[in-house]
Structure 1
């Protein structure tokens, strides 16, 4: 980490700008950033549910990396994704295991019939169309997901964008998810949130993260934020890691059996 901090801003920025950002593999950040994981272990919980399902759908699967870690798929396994580079990656990863990856614009309707799945999953969906989730679930079926919570990584967001309004800081609150799920006719069985510590050790890690998670600082480029990035580079070299806090919540909602 110390060796990264001794490198020039130009060198680190060029390296981060050249790194591929398709999919949800964050291994490029190994040794350059850390992220505390939620205690419930979404991957483990999701894998257990998939092993018991007969037909499942993973919404906004990204490059399919999270879903692919499940050791067992149900007899019918589908996934949706809207970004073309991720679609290609997810197809390559999941097709050999019998999963169908469907191009979907991430707006209603989902391209499936009513009551098609007994399990719908998603990890960090950008948008959640609760009525559509309820529609494609079989009676007695379950939606299991890990969502990004309110004001997640806002230390980093506000470093670049300045203070955000209370309305913006409150968006993605789990209470809103509970209410929306209920309005769609789903019964929330489990809902828990945690605040998790993240650290960035060099400016390349910050640049890579903001290039990959594009909604954090919309329109982010090194050129547009060069001054602030340069100041943060100097700060990292003298003060050590930049600390931010992610929020995550696990939600499980069931469609009534009858």
Structure 2
């Protein structure tokens, strides 16, 4: 295997990943995602403007939340990945958002503290979310389903993370309803995600290690090279994402 372009692209995937920001490969068009029939951002923005107290679960580096202000007088964000916490604090504190580190799905807040909880791609305990939301409060979540991008695993001949395979709209709605919520709106879709060079794919896999647990470039070098040649022939490597959203009201 003496393909300098291939090895150069792999080396380019060593760029550090900070916060929860894929712009290194999205703003350059190296990875793109298909459109959904809803906008989590638009729904969240509207709800934030009507809230008096809010929580953003799993804020990453605060990149997304920072664009949805102004925020209510009481605004909090949680983050479980320690390196993201100072990044989020630096970005969100000047905007009036208090960032709190969490270690699990338990939420360090008072019962009924918030009238809005938003959650983009973060795990949650429906029981805990209901506890911290006041009666009539709203919970908006967009989730990555258990079938997300499994085409990557298939091409790599890598094990699929079976822990999340059953995580879909039906099961999430069931859990939410069983914990004191009424579902107001929901939808589930499978948009396309495309990678236009092998370096973008490797960068993505290194940023989300749960997609292919234990991923190592040397272990999968032959499979990565096969995908690289496919991209050279067809222009891209395409897989299906798995997304769903739920807007619920606390009873």
TM-score (norm 1): 0.90
**Counterpart-to-counterpart distance in 1, 2:166 and 2:81:** 24
1:180-234, Cα deviation, whole Å (9 max, x unpaired): 0111111111110121111111100100111112211112222232221122112
Asked if structure 2 preserves the Cα contact closer than 8 Å seen for 1:157 and 1:217, the reply is yes
Find the counterpart in structure 2 of residue 106 from structure 1: 104
**Counterpart-to-counterpart distance in 1, 2:202 and 2:160:** 21
**Counterpart-to-counterpart distance in 2, 1:250 and 1:79:** 19
Residue 131 of structure 1: how far off its partner (Å): 0.5
Find the counterpart in structure 1 of residue 10 from structure 2: 13
Aligned partner of residue 214 in structure 2, secondary structure: coil
**Counterpart-to-counterpart distance in 2, 1:163 and 1:57:** 35
Find the counterpart in structure 2 of residue 149 from structure 1: 145
Unmatched runs of 5 consecutive residues or more in structure 2: none
Asked if structure 2 preserves the Cα contact closer than 8 Å seen for 1:160 and 1:217, the reply is no
Asked if structure 1 preserves the Cα contact closer than 8 Å seen for 2:155 and 2:227, the reply is no
1:55-88, Cα deviation, whole Å (9 max, x unpaired): 0000111111111110321111100001122111
**Cα–Cα, structure 1 residues 164 and 92, in superposed 2: closer, same or farther, change >3 Å?**
closer
**Counterpart-to-counterpart distance in 2, 1:24 and 1:85:** 11
Mapped pair 1:199 → 2:194: yes
Find the counterpart in structure 2 of residue 116 from structure 1: 113
Q: How many residues align?
A: 247
Asked if structure 2 preserves the Cα contact closer than 8 Å seen for 1:80 and 1:103, the reply is yes
Find the counterpart in structure 2 of residue 3 from structure 1: none
35-44 or 242-251, which deviates more: 35-44
Residue of 55, 60, 63 corresponding to 1:62:
60
Residue of 82, 94, 97 corresponding to 1:96:
94
TM-score (norm 2): 0.93
Mapped pair 1:209 → 2:207: no
**Counterpart-to-counterpart distance in 2, 1:62 and 1:157:** 25
Aligned partner of residue 191 in structure 2, secondary structure: strand
**Counterpart-to-counterpart distance in 2, 1:71 and 1:31:** 27
Find the counterpart in structure 2 of residue 180 from structure 1: 175
Residue 33 of structure 1: how far off its partner (Å): 1.4
Asked if structure 2 preserves the Cα contact closer than 8 Å seen for 1:191 and 1:249, the reply is yes
26-35 or 218-227, which deviates more: 218-227
Find the counterpart in structure 2 of residue 159 from structure 1: 155
Residue 163 of structure 1: how far off its partner (Å): 7.2
**Counterpart-to-counterpart distance in 2, 1:194 and 1:182:** 21
